[in-house]
């Protein structure tokens, strides 16, 4: 029992850090829309005060135009919603309406696509609705599945550039939380694994990271069972069998052993 407590004291846990997703306030939505640049396939909600026939939702065409009754197609790609409203106001005031009052909002964001693949809960295509960072997008995709992922995120830019960000620093401190751009592909690679079997609480696969040790892997599976033979553990690595004396490791009389991807750690049952 004493060794059991020693093992528990040696546990090294890596906490899961979820990405919070606050509900945006109307003010924050307005700020986002002010910064957003309209593009093809977006849908705009156009309102002209007192003019029901000119008010409604209009899609932006592939060549970046929006159709408005009376004035026809107007080029809006690359404009903010405020700039779009000013342009429509000028066009309508030019021989059509006296002092038109025009407001524009983005009703559907469909022009700036980014993709998320790999070990997230909801992989797929997403659309930028304003300034968006890597953590923002990961939150929209349901967060990283830490039980299946490697310890990095890769962002491939439309230019072909690849940026690699470490998961631990990203989730704990925000280091590497870069702003995303249209065409980015975010990949959370599935991890490599080691396998723990025999007399442990929860036998199974453990995600490998550089420097993972025997005791850390055992921590992830709940530790050895009460009937485990701590002196008789071993690692199968390829065709090699490596003996592991957990008793001496936990007592500090032997160094912990670093594992490699694909290692199989096995704990025997004590004969007593």
How does DSSP assign 195-258, residue by residue? EEEESBSS-EEEE--TT-BHHHHHHHTT-B-TTB-GGGEEEEETTEEEEE-HHHHHTTSS---B
User: Among all chains, which residue has been given the structure tokens 């690595």?
Assistant: 237
pTM reported for the whole predicted model: 0.62
User: CA of 250: how far to CAs of 215, 220, 223, in Å?
Assistant: 8, 16, 12
87-131 confidence digits (pLDDT tens): 999 999 999 999 999 999 999 999 999 999 998 999 999 999 888
**Domain extent at residue 57:** 37-108
Asked if residue 211 is part of any domain, the answer here is yes
Asked if residue 228 is part of any domain, the answer here is yes
**Which of 82, 108, 134 marks a domain boundary?**
108
Asked if residue 123 is part of any domain, the answer here is no
Q: How confident is the model at residue 4 (pLDDT cuts 50, 70, 90)?
A: very low
Total of domains in the chain: 2
Which positions ≥6 away from 130 have C-beta within 8 Å? 31, 32, 33, 35, 36
Asked if residue 131 is part of any domain, the answer here is no
211-228 confidence digits (pLDDT tens): 899 999 999 899 999 899
Asked if residue 148 is part of any domain, the answer here is no
Strand 233-237 and strand 204-207: the pairing is: unpaired
**Which of 83, 108, 133 marks a domain boundary?**
108
Asked if residue 63 is part of any domain, the answer here is yes
Least confident of 6-15, 214-223, 242-251, 255-264: 6-15
Query: Cα separation of 48 and 101, whole Å?
Result: 6
Asked if residue 22 is part of any domain, the answer here is no
- CATH for 91: 3.30.1950.10
Asked if residue 232 is part of any domain, the answer here is yes
Average pLDDT, the chain: 86
Strand 193-198 and strand 264-267: the pairing is: parallel
User: Among all chains, which residue has been given the structure tokens 């939702």?
Assistant: 57
């Amino acid at each position: 029992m004493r060794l059991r407590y020693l093992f528990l004291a040696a546990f090294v846990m890596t906490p899961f850090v979820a990405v919070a997703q606050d509900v945006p306030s109307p003010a924050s939505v307005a700020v986002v829309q002010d910064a957003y640049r309209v593009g093809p396939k977006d849908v705009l909600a156009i309102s002209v005060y007192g003019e029901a026939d000119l008010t409604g939702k209009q899609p932006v065409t592939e060549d970046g135009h929006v159709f408005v009754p009376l004035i026809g197609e107007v080029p809006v790609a690359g404009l903010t919603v405020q700039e779009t409203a000013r342009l429509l106001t000028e066009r309508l005031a030019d021989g059509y309406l006296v002092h038109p009052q025009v407001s524009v909002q983005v009703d559907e964001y469909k022009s700036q696509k980014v993709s998320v693949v790999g070990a997230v809960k909801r992989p797929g295509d997403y659309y930028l609705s304003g300034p968006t960072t890597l953590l923002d997008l990961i939150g929209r995709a349901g967060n990283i599945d830490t039980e299946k992922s490697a310890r990095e995120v890769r962002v491939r830019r439309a230019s072909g550039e690849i940026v690699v960000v470490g998961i631990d620093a990203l989730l704990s401190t925000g280091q590497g939380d870069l702003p995303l751009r249209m065409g980015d592909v975010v990949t959370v690679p599935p991890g490599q694994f080691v396998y723990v079997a025999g007399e442990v609480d929860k036998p199974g696969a453990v995600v490998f990271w550089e420097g993972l040790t025997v005791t850390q892997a055992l921590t992830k599976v709940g530790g050895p069972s009460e009937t485990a033979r701590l002196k008789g553990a071993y690692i199968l690595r390829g065709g090699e069998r490596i003996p592991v004396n957990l008793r001496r490791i936990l007592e500090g009389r032997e160094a912990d052993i670093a594992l490699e991807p694909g290692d199989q750690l096995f704990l025997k049952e004590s004969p007593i």
